[in-house]
Chain A
């Protein structure tokens, strides 16, 4: 009984999501990119990423090397395919972590108000004064450069914005009558936050999170670009770009392909995010 209801809800959700053609396109794109990351080893073995062939240096795209080769003769197609793993991992991990921390801090600030709100908001204000890139740089500089620290650094830079956004939507949602009604039948504060306030404030939060996945991927690419992110020889899209700038005039394709993939994947996340908000909002149901 319960299962069939869940099932009915899902198909209802899918029916509404389907209506939005651009969102479906974004989803297809996203599935392709995620599939590429998951099955990277089947598409092209990792060895191809690091295998240096002196004779094949700076080759343009061809049947042997779809995206050409770099200055060490490494296959760029293999590097882009395997690079998707890093980029997606960083984008998803940072966004979800920042969402979780932002939801707890922002919701408590907005819901409880008073001293709690003041303490959280003032600390966030301090963090907001520092440009996000600088904040990430500082964290990486303090912790050292590796994948884990990169994720921490980008998460930290993303938290303040999340807290502010969630606090503001929670502020308006917590004013609603049904929250007071919930209190009147003895619901605890934590339960009210997670069952009444946050689900009703979900729309802007979901959009923000999906959009932030692409922003996070870009800032990871940015950090790698200036050499503070993923270290060579690991292939990451930003690192590939950074590497390519030296050969901008001799081998522009080196810049083109990683760039296209960064663009496509952030576009995919944005489109899916838009589609999700429309489909998830019960007030927009027809």
Chain B
């Protein structure tokens, strides 16, 4: 038991986050829970606006101070609550223990610093081994080569790099301090498909080499299938289905939303004239439906779904939040 807690590096319990402005309240994340062990990769899948990035920012303690509010729950990183940390503690955590790969490599690099300076920045800020300038320099060069960029290019500026190369630089920045947890926020969305595979393989290789845990945020199920151990399907700020890769991709029981997601992947063998989207749009996060958030779009919607928030059905760690599987908290069938 003790062992299990020890290598549980991140644990999120019943986390809810709201964005409050004078005009409206956006319910971005509504009571999600999951945990991540050392060396594991967890995929967070969902449509735009499902609360994936908000969750990631909460782990880093980077939510916009004035508008975002954690209304319930805890984010435990190595047993410490990130939400209760002071700004100073957070600054020590970020970059050194948790780091993040941003979505758009074209804007995530500072145009006036050379890439070498930017990679060295995190090392300089978290210089616990008191590396000298030369040692930092050497580490920067090593990291560059690790992500497949010749070391001579470290004194070049971001504008001299292509998109794929920039994403490598962004990854180098994220990995230079050997973080325990890496959050990859749609790391391949802005890249073309040939580069996507390279970048994903690289992230996986580096993860295996250093035993880093990864949260892979994406809306691409293909990326998930290739890289993840566990998957959480997010919809309107909730994790509607959560399980191992096998549970999600080959299991029998699914949340209707997951079925819809898989149903909308175009098939290579079937000769279909049209794609199969999930009808309707995500509910307005300022006015979420009363019962199941997915009810208005669900093809299997029942009366109870419209009024009553479903409980969680669980079988061997595979969790589904749907009335089809539960009744008064009891498992149907």
Contact = CB atoms under 8 A, between A and B. Distances in A.
Interface string A179-213: 01111111110010001100110100000000000
A195 B113 contact: yes
Contacts of A54: none
A234 interface: no
B161 interface: no
Interface stretch (B96-104, B209-217, B241-249): B96-104
A186 B91 CA distance: 4
A183 B94 contact: yes
B102 A5 contact: no
A198 B108 CA distance: 16
Q: Which of the listed residues A178, A184, A283 has the most CB atoms from chain B within 10 Å of its own CB?
A: A184
B110 A180 contact: no
A131 interface: no
Contacts of A113: 66
A33 B282 CA distance: 67
A176 B107 contact: yes
A187 B121 contact: yes
Contact of A184 (B66, B100, B107, B159): B100
Nearest to B95: A185
A186 B159 contact: no
A284 to B, nearest CB: 10
B69 interface: no
A233 interface: no
Interface in B45-87: 60, 62, 66
A176 to B, nearest CB: 6
Nearest to A185: B95
B113 A186 contact: no
Contacts of A184: 60, 62, 94-95, 99-100, 102
A282 B108 contact: no
Contact of B93 (A177, A186, A285): A186
A183 B107 contact: no
B221 interface: no
Q: Which 4 pairs show the lowest CB-CB distances between chains A and B?
A: A185-B95, A186-B95, A186-B94, A177-B107
21 contacts: A5-B155, A177-B102, A181-B108, A182-B110, A182-B121, A184-B102, A185-B94, A185-B100, A185-B125, A186-B92, A186-B93, A186-B122, A186-B125, A195-B110, A196-B110, A199-B110, A199-B112, A199-B113, A282-B111, A282-B159, A285-B159
Given A184-B99, A185-B122, A187-B95, 20 more contacts: A177-B104, A178-B107, A178-B108, A180-B62, A181-B102, A184-B102, A185-B173, A185-B174, A186-B90, A186-B125, A187-B121, A188-B91, A188-B125, A195-B113, A196-B110, A199-B110, A199-B113, A200-B111, A282-B159, A285-B157
